[in-house]
Amino acid sequence: MGYVWVEAVVRSPSTGRSASIKALVDTGATLSVVPRRVADELGLPVVGKATVKTAKGVTEFEVRYGFIEIMGEETPTRILVSDEIDVALIGLTVLESLGLEVDPITGKLKKTTLLLLQNTPKASPL
């Protein structure tokens, strides 16, 4: 199938600044990643750190908060900041939040149905 690239917009909730970026869809990643220069330019607020398993091993990433828009839909999300990766990556949480999936036939993103498959009890346990 090859790589899936998308046009995305990253926006800071604190400064309102945004940037259009070309991002690689990474269905093996939980969270999305932006290079540090993008996070700093936009003023994405820092919300903590996260231990992340990568192809190079386990490492710690700074976590920031922002909005990501793809195909006209926007979602708030935690975003990992990388000093090593020079491209943006779109992870599964953003794809699922926006109701998007990779179409293996076309190699592009397509809209999908959001899932809510929990069995709800008939009566409240309280």
In a domain, 121, yes or no: no
Q: How far apart are CA 87 and CA 51, in angstroms?
A: 20
Q: Please check the confidence at residue 56 and state whether its pLDDT lies above 90.
A: no
Residue 118 falls inside a structural domain: no
pLDDT exceeds 90 at position 101? yes
| Residues facing residue 50 across a β-bridge | 61
Half-sphere exposure of 33 (CA within 13 A, CB side): 22
Structural domain includes residue 29: yes
Whether 45 maps to a domain, the answer reads yes
Find the CATH number of the domain harbouring 55.
Answer: 2.40.70.10
pLDDT at 6: 97
Domain that holds residue 19: 5-111
Tell me if 33 sits within 8 A of 85, measured CB to CB: yes
Asked, for residue 92, whether it belongs to a domain, the answer is: yes
Q: pLDDT, tens digit, for every residue of 33-50?
A: 999 999 999 999 999 999
Q: 48 vs 79, 95, 105, CA distance in Å?
A: 10, 22, 38
Whether residue 126 is contained in a domain is answered as no
42-50 contact pairs (CB < 8 A, 24+): 42/10, 42/11, 42/12, 42/15, 42/17, 42/18, 42/66, 43/12, 43/14, 43/15, 43/17, 44/10, 44/12, 44/14, 44/79, 44/81, 45/12, 45/13, 45/14, 47/78, 50/78, 50/80
Residue 41: inside a domain, yes or no?
yes
* DSSP secondary structure code for residue 118 in this structure: P
Summarize pLDDT for 63-95 with one digit per residue, the tens: 999 999 999 999 999 999 999 889 999 999 999
Work out how many domains the chain is built from and give that number.
Answer: 1
- Token couple for 116: 């809510």
- Asked whether residue 67 is domain-assigned, the answer is yes
